[in-house]
Amino acid sequence: MKVIDVLKKKKSLSFEFFPPKTQEQEENLYQVVAELRNFNPDYVSVTYGALGSSREKTFNWVSKIKKEFQIEPVAHLTCVAASKKNIKTQVEYLVGNKVENILALRGDVPEGALKFEPPQDGFSHASDLVGFIKHCCPSVCLGVAGYPEKHPEAKNLKEDIGHLKEKVEAGADYVVTQLFFDNNRYFEFVEKCKQKGIKAPIVPGIMIISSYKSLKRMMQICRASIPDKLFEKMEKHKEDKKSIQQIGVEQAIKQVSELKKQGVPGLHFFVMNQSGPVSEVLSTFSRQQ
């Protein structure tokens, strides 16, 4: 099942995992996927490490999720340190294993590098990657990333939305946003995208705060802003892990409730390979039905 076909029929629910590095993490992720399957996700995605470092694990988990859990997988794919030939081989491998969905990303600047340097015979932009995949494997459903508060490297939001339009025009079927903590950022972003002529569904990406340290890190990496009242509350309880986790769950419930009322096309959770927080959030809405 292609993600775009799901989005045409219903409001989607999806989760994002990252490939585990150790045997213990492998066992944990297996349990997390098994637990979250109870919420009947329409699809789940698996991230792709810097410089393709987790490619094999990403593809292995994509296959495992499809075959063992019978959940539709989305494989992340970047153009960092990858030639056109290499990307074509990877896409054909995925298609050969009956993976119908890919999230096409430029990829992060490698640690220590000052700026993104395209590889020889590779791509500089995600829009180039999208167009290439659509050309060599037109049947693949492609998702791309959107940034409600702009990509950290973009001059401004207007410029960044212009880049997003290029990705959609190159063949992207839908958009998943980077995390945000203020829903107004998402709604304003969607409206500006519509004004720009972007018609692809824009699925909000939600991260449930689980620790003060991870919050600060994500704010640095993604440049996501945080409402003053929420940040003050986090600051007040930053040494109390349980309180931070509860605040995170309450914030996510508030966000999801408003997003659902506004009829967003779906919900995509960055679960950070933890089942507890997202289970608590989703169970809240199950009890309300």
Residue 16 is among the residues annotated as catalytic for this protein: yes
Residue 250 CA to its chain's centroid (Å): 21
- The token pair that represents 65 in the structure block: 């999720």
* Under 8 Å between Cβ of 271 and 280: no
Beta bridge partners of 12: 266
Q: Which 8-state DSSP code applies to residue 154?
A: S
Of these residues, 16, 72, 100, 149, which one is catalytic? 16
Neighbours of 288 (CB within 10 A): 7
Q: What end-to-end distance do the CA atoms of the chain give, in Å?
A: 27
What angle separates helix 84-96 from helix 126-136, to the nearest 10 degrees?
50
* Under 8 Å between Cβ of 97 and 61: no
Compute the distance between CA of residue 31 and CA of residue 141 in angstroms, rounded to an integer. Answer: 28
DSSP-derived secondary structure for 50-112:
GGGTTHHHHHHHHHHHHHHS---EEEEEE-TT--HHHHHHHHHHHHHTT--EEEEE--PPPTT
Q: Which 8-state DSSP code applies to residue 122?
A: S
CA diameter of the chain: 54
Q: Which 8-state DSSP code applies to residue 118?
A: P
Q: Which residues are catalytic?
A: 16
